């Protein structure tokens, strides 16, 4: 992750959330799964909340809150029906995604555990799919995927980190799942070169930088697949370790060429149309987010937010200040940068500081009702270390509208502002996002426990600040890493 330019698994933190005391099951919510709402695990037409807590004792857990009832379910490897034997360091819940894998109308939860030991292979990693149903998630029907799963490319090896990143969604009538394996050795000796496993229908394929049509070469430490994002049009793969940490991003179309997604564009800071120069330690692509997008004038493509947390600004006098690029990839093959965001840009609130690592988390959100976002409905949320905060343990967020210049109506969200308690937004600056809410990791107002705070987009964008909705996190030592 960009916060410390991590190239290993053991960094940072994560938390788990619930709106009521935890229970082991939820009551029926619908007669059948008919929902078209993302992250709806019980088919009742209301988005549910999943939060990963991968560093907890016993190998990690995920807490899922069913929104209509407020009841929550804890899922870990001790849950009946979930394969595996949870031990410290499995990092169950390190990555989360959801999609309707079994096509029953209820979304299924996908959980990455990149530290899982399978057989004798330490940190080879695994991915679990927990099916949704009208009575909520059904752990008893869970499926565990590894590189030894029938039909999957490769084999389980030490330190592969299978499941480090996840992306899932729809391509037409089919559902797809992409799994990042940044520790994969490619060829005879390129350890940590990285791989992505792509599954859709009867197709399961591997992508690396040695795949035909993909620019570059799989090399030691590239970490291809450390970050992933996807839309119905494209799969976006981050390679933050490329060229001594300059970083690179590859974009693929879902249409298949020789049984694999088709490479369409590779982008770095040395790409024509992208300002800046690629430099060691920039980590271009260290964080990614993507939405389906219509920039205007017809045509639909993918808008991608790409973080560069190691970027120095003001002629390299402010180190690791960080920037974020907003890049558009059209389905017609077109490419252009729409904007560049930093705290050094004209009119943007705040001031770029050394080690701000602006972009340590990014989230693009379509707040409209259409399937594709537009400049009027799409917002970009960027997390930073928040050097302006009096308490250096706390982070900060900045929200930008895609319409207009970066400094037109940007929102600086710090602890104690916009309806958040004074100790919201922890130093890890983990966020999640939906059409309705921005989810922020932090603490309860009394400072005793961890929590997820929800801010409604309609309030934020209208300049209103009602108190945030808060999901308390039970337990001690909870660290937030994924919110979906």
Measuring CA to CA, how many Å separate 414 from each of 58, 99, 104, 255, 386? 33, 32, 41, 42, 8
Of 449 and 102, the one with more pLDDT: 102
Whether the per-residue pLDDT at 390 is higher than 70: the answer is: no
Residues in Cβ contact with 209 at an 8 Å cutoff, skipping those fewer than 6 apart: 186, 193, 194, 215, 216, 217, 218, 219, 222, 224, 239, 250
Cα 212 from chain centroid?
27
Question: Is the Cα torsion angle 401, 404, 407, 408 positive or negative in sign?
Answer: negative
Number of structural domains the chain divides into: 2
Residues in Cβ contact with 92 at an 8 Å cutoff, skipping those fewer than 6 apart: 52, 54, 59, 60, 61, 62, 76, 77, 84, 86, 111, 113, 116, 128
**Spatial CA neighbour of 64 closest among 11, 117, 116, 128:** 128
Same domain, 124 and 222: no
Q: Which two tokens stand for residue 415?
A: 């602890």
Same domain, 207 and 136: no
Separation CA 177–CA 204 (nearest Å): 9
Q: What is the pLDDT of residue 432?
A: 94
Same domain, 137 and 61: yes
Q: What is the value of pTM for the model shown?
A: 0.91
In this structure, is residue 62 part of a structural domain? yes
Q: What percent of the chain has pLDDT over 90?
A: 64
In this structure, is residue 59 part of a structural domain? yes
**387-425: b or e for each residue (b if 16 or more CB lie within 10 Å)?**
bebeeeebbbbbbbbbeeebeeebbbbbbeebbbbebbb
**Spatial CA neighbour of 450 closest among 428, 433, 432:** 428
Confidence of residue 25 (pLDDT cuts 50, 70, 90): very low
Please state, rounded to an integer, the average pLDDT across all residues of the chain. 87
Whether the per-residue pLDDT at 204 is higher than 80: the answer is: yes
Written in H, E and C, the secondary structure of 316-333 is: CCECCCCEEEEEEEECCC
Beta bridge partners of 196: 180, 207
Separation CA 413–CA 424 (nearest Å): 10
In this structure, is residue 18 part of a structural domain? no
Same domain, 71 and 112: yes
Q: Coil, strand, or helix at residue 2?
A: helix
In this structure, is residue 280 part of a structural domain? no
Confidence of residue 391 (pLDDT cuts 50, 70, 90): low
Same domain, 132 and 184: no
Whether the per-residue pLDDT at 376 is higher than 50: the answer is: yes
Confidence of residue 387 (pLDDT cuts 50, 70, 90): low
In this structure, is residue 228 part of a structural domain? yes
Confidence of residue 451 (pLDDT cuts 50, 70, 90): confident
User: Which residue, 257, 284, 307, sits at the end of a domain?
Assistant: 257
Specify whether the CB–CB gap between 430 and 453 falls below 8 A: no
User: Which residue, 148, 183, 218, sits at the end of a domain?
Assistant: 148
Q: Coil, strand, or helix at residue 209?
A: coil
In this structure, is residue 197 part of a structural domain? yes
Separation CA 415–CA 398 (nearest Å): 12
Measuring CA to CA, how many Å separate 130 from each of 63, 76, 77, 468? 13, 11, 12, 30
In this structure, is residue 10 part of a structural domain? no
- Look up the domain containing 56 and give its range: 33-148
Beta bridge partners of 176: 169, 200
Same domain, 114 and 195: no
Specify whether the CB–CB gap between 151 and 143 falls below 8 A: no
Same domain, 198 and 138: no
In this structure, is residue 333 part of a structural domain? no
User: Which residue, 257, 286, 316, sits at the end of a domain?
Assistant: 257
Same domain, 186 and 250: yes
Q: What is the pLDDT of residue 23?
A: 32
Q: What is the pLDDT of residue 343?
A: 86
Give the mean pLDDT of 250-279: 94
């Amino acid at each position: 992750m960009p916060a410390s330019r991590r190239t290993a698994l053991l960094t940072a933190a994560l938390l788990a959330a619930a709106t009521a005391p935890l229970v082991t099951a939820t009551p029926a919510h619908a007669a059948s799964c008919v929902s078209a709402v993302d992250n709806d695990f019980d088919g009742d037409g209301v988005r549910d909340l999943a939060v990963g807590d991968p560093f907890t004792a016993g190998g990690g857990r995920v807490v899922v809150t069913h929104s209509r009832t407020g009841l929550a379910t804890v899922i870990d490897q001790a849950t009946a029906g979930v394969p595996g034997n949870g031990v410290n360091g499995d990092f169950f819940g390190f990555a989360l995604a959801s999609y309707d894998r079994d096509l029953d109308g209820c979304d299924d939860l996908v959980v990455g555990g990149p530290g899982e030991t399978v057989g004798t292979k330490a940190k080879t990693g695994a991915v679990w799919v927990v099916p949704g149903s009208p009575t909520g998630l059904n752990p008893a029907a869970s499926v565990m995927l590894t590189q030894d799963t029938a039909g999957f490319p490769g084999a389980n090896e030490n330190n592969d980190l299978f499941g480090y990143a996840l992306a899932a969604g729809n391509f037409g009538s089919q559902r797809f799942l992409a799994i990042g394996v940044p520790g994969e050795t490619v060829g005879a000796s390129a350890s940590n070169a990285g791989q992505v496993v792509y599954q859709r229908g009867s197709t399961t394929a591997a992508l690396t930088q040695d795949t035909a049509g993909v620019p570059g070469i799989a090399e030691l430490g590239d970490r291809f697949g450390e970050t992933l994002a996807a839309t119905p049009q494209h799969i976006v793969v981050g390679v933050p370790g490329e060229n001594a940490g300059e970083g690179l991003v590859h974009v693929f179309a879902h249409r298949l060429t020789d049984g694999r997604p088709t490479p369409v564009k590779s982008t770095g800071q040395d790409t024509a149309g992208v300002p800046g120069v690629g430099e060691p330690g920039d980590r271009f692509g260290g964080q990614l987010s993507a939405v389906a997008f219509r920039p205007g004038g017809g045509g639909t493509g993918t808008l991608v937010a790409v973080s560069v947390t190691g970027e120095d600004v003001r002629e390299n006098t402010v180190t690791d200040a960080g920037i974020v690029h907003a890049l558009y990839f059209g389905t017609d093959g077109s490419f252009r940068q729409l904007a560049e965001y930093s705290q050094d840009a004209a009119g943007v609130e705040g001031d770029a500081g050394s080690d701000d690592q602006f972009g340590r988390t990014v989230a693009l959100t379509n707040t409209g009702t259409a399937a594709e976002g537009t400049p009027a409905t799409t917002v970009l949320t960027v997390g930073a270390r928040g050097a302006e905060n009096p308490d250096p343990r706390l982070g900060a967020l900045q929200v930008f509208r895609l319409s207009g210049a970066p400094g037109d109506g940007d929102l600086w969200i710090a602890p104690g502002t916009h309806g958040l308690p004074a100790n919201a937004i922890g130093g890890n600056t983990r966020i999640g996002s939906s059409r309705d809410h921005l989810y922020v990791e932090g603490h309860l107002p009394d400072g005793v426990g961890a929590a997820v705070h929800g801010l409604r987009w309609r309030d934020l964008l209208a300049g209103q600040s009602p108190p945030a909705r808060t999901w308390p996190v039970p337990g001690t030592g909870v660290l937030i890493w994924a919110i979906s």
